[in-house]
Structure 1
Amino acid sequence: MDIFGFKALLISALIFIPFEHLFAERAQKIFRKGLAVDLIYVLFNGFIIKTAIVMMAAGALGVAAILVPQSITQAVSGQPIWLQVAEIILITDIGVYWAHRAFHNIPALWKFHAVHHGIDELDWLGAFHSHPIDIIVTKAISLTPIFFLGFSEASIAIFSMIYFWHTLLVHSNVRVSFGPLKWLIASPQFHRWHHANQREAYDKNFAGQLPFLDVMFGTYNATGNKVPEKYGVDDPIPSTYFGQTGYPLLPRRKLSSRAAPSTEAGG
């Protein structure tokens, strides 16, 4: 088991670095600012998150064995794999949407999520740049129903692979058009506008994979082909890994314009 993610990192680099060079949205260097810190995130977060998910799954499955009728779990796991994967994507992304929105609208949670938004130069490696608490809470909210309902191991494995590669894609510095599918599948354009440090982009495009959730709940930001002027946040985020992981626990020194609930976030 590649608990630290070395193999995944190598394969990802071999795929995304050439594509970001050939189809770049913005001119960026491979060895950009913050690259070393992001590599530390890959190694430390990979171990922490996988350990947390195993513990979550064990706990959820144990409780589900007591509370959820076996007829339900058997019916769920007995569905065709493709249908299970589609259901998992929908259920988890509803969880991701609302967890993500909470991390933006609750000041105490924003301090954790601001670490992810602190990326000044966005590329595929930025997908790993998140505070462990941010990821663990989001995973707990989005994945617990999946374990409770008894989806098969094969469908969860396929979903995990899809989610991993799609997350890297939406963070990548690649110009690619999804055409009419942009309403159904999150694109790099959709997500880079979530990261834009511009007033019109704040508290928008929360979905991880399914943009129609933002359309439904009034948080979709239609940007056409415009490129954000800048990424990052106004918060005083430290530049080191340990500084960033400890940042949410420090007294706030400067209030970001994103740190309070927005009246533009659709309710």
Structure 2
Amino acid sequence: MDVFSLKPLLICALIFIPLERVLTLRPQKILRRGIFTDLIYATCNGAAVNLLLGMMAVPLINAAAFFAPASVTQALGGQSLWLQVLEIVVLTDLGVYAVHRTFHAVPFLWRFHSIHHGVEEMDWLAAFHTHPFEQIITKSIILIPVFVLGFSTEAIYLYFVIYTGQALLIHSNVKLNFGPLRWLIASPQFHHWHHAGERAAYDKNFAGQLAIIDLLFGTFRVPGSSTPSKYGVDAPIPRNFFGQLGYPMVPRKLLAKPRSAEASDAEL
């Protein structure tokens, strides 16, 4: 999504705003706290990310493609469309899981990823709330193999449509857990627990589309039909867009007290 693509954003709004009214998880205003910052991410962030990603990834893709056997690329690109899409989903989500878990485990990378976790009221727009550095790293790692291996343009495009739709859905303020399929497919309940501001839920549910990946690696957490009582992090993350862009680079000692600490002081 970029600054010249407001029509897709409007279409998404026309789909997900009514859906959140019908399947509401928790009472929440449409113009909730932080929504204007998220609109900036949704309309402007993508343009810069796509530009930088193109500058970085295209040379890498061309270099890697030189070593990819033509027999492999022709075989993969010649498969049925839906089989290619399924393979892309599995391949990319394994990459998402690995990169996402790394962003949680490495303190320097967590500074960037904490921007996404700073959202305190979840809805479909929260899916866009990601630092551009994280987007560039994640997209580069998961998409380069897809382009190098020779999957068809149609399959890649269809994958992007499915991925975007599911990313918006799992962030949405909807009560939906997919029933028995919650063990296989990432649901809103699954991803809301990833955003939970509760210690028992930390570092769980890293996959973006296939919950079974977390099940296999022991990081799956969907406790019954329950949902988190709160979201967010206890870090002094700025509320505005430009403050969030610079936040990961600010020395920790210069940051204000975490919000939880400020609240405790206020109570004394």
Is this a same-fold pair by TM over 0.5?
yes
Return the structure number with greater relative CO, CA threshold 8 A, min gap 6. Answer: 1
Aligned ranges 1:59-74 → 2 under 5 Å: 59-74=59-74
Compute the RMSD of aligned alpha carbons.
Answer: 1.9
Q: CA deviation at 1:54?
A: 3.5
Is residue 11 of structure 1 aligned with residue 18 of structure 2?
A: no
1:51 corresponds to? 51
Unpaired stretches in structure 1, ≥5 consecutive residues:
258-267
The one-letter amino acid of 1:50's match is N
Q: Secondary structure at the match of 2:231?
A: coil
Corresponding position of 2:132: 132
Displacement, 1:180? 1.0
Residues in 1 aligned to 2:150 and 2:79: alpha-carbon distance in whole angstroms? 11
Q: Is the 8 A contact 2:65 2:149 kept in 1?
A: no
- How many Å separate the matches in 1 of 2:156 and 2:53? 12
Which amino acid letter does the alignment assign opposite residue 125 of structure 1? L
Q: Deviations over 1:223-264 (max 9, x none)?
A: 21112110000011001100001000001147999xxxxxxx
Matched letter for residue 111 of structure 2: K
Query: Amino acid of the residue matched to residue 10 of structure 1?
Result: L
CA distance in 2, matches of 1:195, 1:19: 20
Report the Cα distance in structure 2 between the residues aligned to 1:92 and 1:52, rounded to whole angstroms: 20
Structure 2 CA distance for aligned equivalents of residues 229 and 192 of structure 1: 10
Q: 1:65, CA displacement in angstroms?
A: 3.5
The corresponding residue for 1:106 is 106
| Contact 1:57-1:147 within 8 A present in 2 as well | no
Task: Confirm whether residue 119 of structure 1 aligns to residue 119 of structure 2.
Answer: yes
Q: Which amino acid aligns with 1:157?
A: Y
The alpha-carbon distance between structure 1 residues 96 and 83, as it changes in their structure 2 partners (threshold 3 A), is same
Cα separation, partners in 2 of 1:92 and 1:234, compared to 1, 3 Å: same
Q: What does residue 146 of structure 2 align with?
A: 146
Shift of 1:205: 0.2
Who is 1:225 aligned against? 225
Query: 1:185-196 maps to which residues of 2 (within 5 A)?
Result: 185-196=185-196
Q: Deviations over 1:37-77 (max 9, x none)?
A: 00111122121232244345532431133211211111110
Cα deviation for residue 173 of structure 1 reads: 0.2
Contact 1:4 1:42 in 2 (8 A): no
Amino acid at match of 1:70: A
Q: Deviations over 1:156-196 (max 9, x none)?
A: 00000000011000000011231111111110000000000
CA distance in 2 between counterparts of 1:185 and 1:154 reads 23
> Where do 1:13-52 residues align within 5 Å?
13-52=13-52
Pairing 1:156–2:145 present: no
Contact 2:2 2:42 in 1 (8 A): no
**Larger deviation: 164-173 or 144-153?**
144-153
- What secondary structure does 1:216 align onto? helix
Quote the sequence identity (%): 54
| d(CA) in 1 for partners of 2:102, 2:108 | 10
Aligned to 1:91: 91
Cα drift, residue 123 of structure 1: 0.3
CA–CA distance in 2 between the matches of 1:232 and 1:167? 18
Aligned residues: 257
- Cα 1:82–1:55 shift into 2, 3 Å: farther
CA contact (8 A) 1:56 1:144 kept: no
Cα distance in 1 for residues equivalent to 2:195 and 2:117: 6
Q: State the secondary structure of the residue aligned to 2:227.
A: coil
Taking a change above 3 Å as real, the CA distance of residues 118 and 2 of structure 1, as seen in their structure-2 partners, is closer
Letter paired with 1:96 = V
TM-score (norm 2): 0.91
What are the ranges of 5 or more consecutive residues in structure 2 without an aligned counterpart?
Answer: 259-268
Aligned equivalents of 2:249 and 2:17: distance in 1? 34
Q: Which residue number in structure 2 is paired with residue 205 of structure 1?
A: 205
| Aligned residue in 1 for 2:166 | 166
